[in-house]
C-alpha cells in the first residue's frame, strides 16, 4: 500500500476537526471549498479532511478532483498534481461503503479512462474480494491501462472466479495486459496455471514480458528460481538477464554465486556491473574483473562461508572508479538516453557555470559525447509538454551523430511547462536503452502523474518489464524540487545530482 508522505502527517496534526460534536457526521463544506481552491496547501487540507471523514460523501469530493478538467475562475487550469494529492487520501479510505463508491466510479465513468484506471488500482490496494467482480468486468474495458490494472489487481486479490476473464487476455498484443494476466493466474492458483506461466516465461516473444514474469517467479515459484535464472542468463534480451542477476543477488547460496560469477562476463556492461556489485555485497570481496572472480571462486568455493556483514569500500563509490562521468554521475552503460528539460525554467542562470541551465546542459552533453565515440549507442530526448527524440531508434555514436545530436538540442529553445511522466514512459519503454540521464529544472508542471508518489509507483511498475536505471540531475536550489527528482532516481537504483 502507498505510504503517507510527511506533509500528510503534518497536515493531520495541524488540521482542525471537521466534526461538530461526538457521533455526528463530519461537516464536509470546508473540504469542498478547499478542494476547489487554487493553492496546493488548500487542496491538501481538503483531501485530509475527506480522509478523516472516511465516508461516501468524502469519496465523492475526492473523485471530483480526479475528474476535474474545467478551468478555475479566471481561466487557470487546475494543476494536474492535485490528482496525486487526493490519491493519498483515497488510499486511506477504510469504510466499506465509501470504498464501494470507487467501484461505482469504475463501472460508470465512461468518458475518463484515467479515472477508471486509478479506481482499478485502488480496488486492488483495498484487498477486498467484494470488489473483484467489478475488476473482472474491467478486464474488457476499451482502454488498455484499465485492463492492465484490472488484471494486476485481480492477481493481488487472488480471485479464482476471474480465471476465464484473465485467460482471454494472455495472448493480447499489449505486453503489460498479457503479462499481468499471466501473473495474476499464477497468483490465483500456482499449480493449476504453472504451464501457462512457464510457457510465457520461457517463450513469450517480448523480452520485457519474460523479464516481468521472472521477477514474479521468485515469489510464486521460489523452488525453481535458480533453474529459471540459469536459463534467463542465456536469454538473447538483456532485460531477463538483468532480472536473473537481481533474483540471484537475494539468494545467499553458493549456486547463486556460481551463476553470478558467470554473469560478470555478460555482454551488456550494466548486467555485468550489477553482477559484480551483487558479488561484492555477498562475499565482501572487491574483485572487479570477470577473470578475477572465476579464479577466486574456483579456489574458494569449497571452504567459503558467507560473511555476516560485508566490509570495504561502499559499492556506490566502487561504481564510480575509472568511469566516464556524465553530469557528475559515472557512466557504466553503452546504451544511454540523455533526457533534457526544455521548459521555461531552463532559461534561468546556473550559478555553477555562470550560464543558463539550458546552455550548461548542452555543453556537458557535448563534452560527454566527445569522449565516447565508437563506445556508445544513444538517443536524445527533449521534453516540455510533449516529447521529441533525436531518432525513433537509438544510434551509434560517431562524429556525425554527435553533431546531429548537438544541433537537435540547440535548435529547441526553452519554453512552456514540462511533463516528466510522459518522457519517462517513452524512454523506459525503449527496449534498447538501459540507462537514462534525466535533466530537469525542477518539479514537473503537468502530466498524468506529477508528484513523486504517483510517478515512482508507476515507474517501478513499468520497470518490472524494462529494468532501466534513471539517473537524475536537477538544476535548482529548491529542496522540494530536488526531493522530487531524487525519489525518481531511487525508484530505479539510479543516482542523483543537483547543481545551483
Question: Are the C-beta atoms of residues 358 and 414 closer than 8 Å to each other?
Answer: yes
What span, in angstroms and rounded, lies between the C-alpha atoms of 87 and 452? Answer: 12
CA distance 250 to 106: 38
Give the pLDDT of residue 17: 42
Looking at the chain, the domain(s) classified CATH 3.40.50.410 span 324-499
Residue 151 and residue 154: Cα distance in Å, rounded? 5
**What is the length of the chain?**
500
Architecture in CATH for domain 204-321:
Alpha Horseshoe (1.25)
241 vs 375: CA distance, rounded Å: 21
Using alpha carbons, select from 151, 122, 125, 129 the residue that is nearest to residue 138: 151
**Which residue bears the cell 525513433?**
392
Distance of CA 254 to the CA centre of its chain: 32
Q: For helices 452-466 and 207-220, what crossing angle results, to 10°?
A: 100
CATH of domain 324-499: 3.40.50.410
Q: Going residue by residue through the chain (500 aa), what tens digit of pLDDT does each one get? A: 344 444 443 344 344 444 444 445 678 999 999 999 888 899 999 999 999 999 999 999 999 999 987 655 555 567 888 999 999 999 999 999 999 999 999 999 999 999 999 999 999 999 999 999 999 999 999 999 999 999 999 999 999 999 999 999 999 999 999 999 999 999 999 999 999 999 999 999 999 999 999 999 999 999 999 999 999 999 999 999 999 999 999 999 999 999 999 999 999 999 999 999 999 999 999 999 999 999 999 999 999 999 987 654 444 444 445 578 999 999 999 999 999 999 999 999 887 778 899 999 999 999 999 999 989 999 999 999 999 999 999 999 999 999 999 999 999 999 999 999 999 999 999 999 999 999 998 878 889 999 999 999 999 999 999 999 999 999 887 887 888 899 999 999 999 998 87
All CATH 1.25.10.10 domain ranges of the chain, comma separated, are 204-321
What pLDDT does residue 11 have? 42
Grid cell of 148 as nine digits: 492492465
Amino acid at each position: 500500500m502507498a505510504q503517507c508522505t510527511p506533509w500528510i502527517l503534518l497536515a493531520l496534526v495541524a488540521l482542525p476537526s471537521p466534526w461538530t460534536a461526538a457521533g455526528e457526521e463530519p461537516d464536509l463544506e470546508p473540504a469542498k471549498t478547499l478542494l476547489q481552491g487554487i493553492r496546493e496547501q488548500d487542496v491538501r487540507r481538503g483531501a485530509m479532511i475527506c480522509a478523516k471523514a472516511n465516508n461516501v460523501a468524502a469519496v465523492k469530493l475526492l473523485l471530483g478532483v480526479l475528474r476535474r478538467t474545467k478551468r478555475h475562475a479566471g481561466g487557470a487550469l487546475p494543476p494536474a498534481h492535485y490528482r496525486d494529492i487526493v490519491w493519498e487520501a483515497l488510499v486511506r479510505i477504510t469504510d466499506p461503503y465509501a470504498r464501494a463508491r470507487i467501484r461505482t466510479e469504475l463501472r460508470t465513468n465512461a468518458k475518463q479512462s484515467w479515472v477508471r484506471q486509478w479506481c482499478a488500482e485502488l480496488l486492488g490496494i483495498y484487498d477486498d474480494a467484494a470488489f473483484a467482480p467489478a475488476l473482472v468486468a474491467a478486464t474488457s474495458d476499451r482502454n488498455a491501462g484499465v485492463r492492465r490494472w484490472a488484471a494486476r489487481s485481480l492477481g493481488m486479490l487472488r480471485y479464482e472466479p476471474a480465471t476465464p476473464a484473465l485467460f482471454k487476455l494472455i495472448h493480447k498484443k499489449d505486453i503489460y495486459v498479457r503479462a499481468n494476466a499471466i501473473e495474476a493466474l499464477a497468483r490465483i492458483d500456482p499449480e493449476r496455471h504453472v504451464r501457462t506461466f512457464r510457457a510465457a516465461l520461457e517463450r513469450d516473444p517480448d523480452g520485457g514480458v519474460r523479464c516481468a514474469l521472472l521477477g514474479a517467479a521468485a515469489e510464486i515459484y521460489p523452488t525453481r528460481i535458480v533453474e529459471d535464472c540459469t536459463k534467463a542468463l542465456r536469454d538473447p534480451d538483456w532485460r531477463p538477464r538483468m532480472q536473473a542477476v537481481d533474483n540471484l543477488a537475494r539468494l545467499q547460496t553458493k549456486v547463486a554465486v556460481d551463476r553470478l560469477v558467470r554473469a560478470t562476463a555478460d555482454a551488456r556492461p550494466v548486467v555485468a556491473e550489477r553482477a559484480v556489485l551483487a558479488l561484492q555485497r555477498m562475499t565482501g570481496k572487491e574483485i572487479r574483473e570477470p577473470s578475477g572472480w572465476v579464479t577466486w571462486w574456483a579456489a574458494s568455493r569449497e571452504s567459503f562461508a558467507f560473511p555476516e556483514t560485508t566490509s570495504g569500500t561502499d559499492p556506490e563509490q566502487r561504481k564510480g572508479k575509472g568511469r566516464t562521468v556524465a553530469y557528475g554521475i559515472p557512466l557504466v552503460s553503452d546504451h544511454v538516453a540523455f533526457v533534457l528539460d526544455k521548459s521555461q525554467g531552463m532559461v534561468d542562470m546556473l550559478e555553477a557555470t555562470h550560464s543558463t541551465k539550458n546552455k550548461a546542459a548542452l555543453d556537458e552533453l557535448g563534452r560527454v559525447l566527445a569522449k565516447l565515440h565508437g563506445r556508445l549507442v544513444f538517443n536524445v530526448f527533449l521534453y516540455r509538454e510533449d516529447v521529441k527524440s533525436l531518432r525513433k531508434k537509438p544510434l551509434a555514436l560517431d562524429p556525425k551523430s554527435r553533431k546531429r545530436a548537438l544541433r537537435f538540442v540547440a535548435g529547441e529553445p526553452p519554453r512552456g511547462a514540462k511533463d516528466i511522466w510522459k518522457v519517462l514512459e517513452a524512454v523506459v519503454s525503449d527496449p534498447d536503452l538501459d540507462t537514462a540521464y534525466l535533466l530537469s529544472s525542477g518539479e514537473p508542471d503537468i502530466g498524468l502523474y506529477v508528484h513523486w508518489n504517483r510517478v515512482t509507483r508507476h515507474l517501478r511498475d513499468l520497470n518490472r518489464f524494462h529494468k532501466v536505471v534513471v539517473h537524475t540531475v536537477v538544476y535548482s536550489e529548491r529542496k522540494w524540487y530536488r526531493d522530487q527528482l531524487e525519489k525518481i532516481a531511487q525508484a530505479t537504483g539510479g543516482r542523483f545530482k543537483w547543481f545551483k
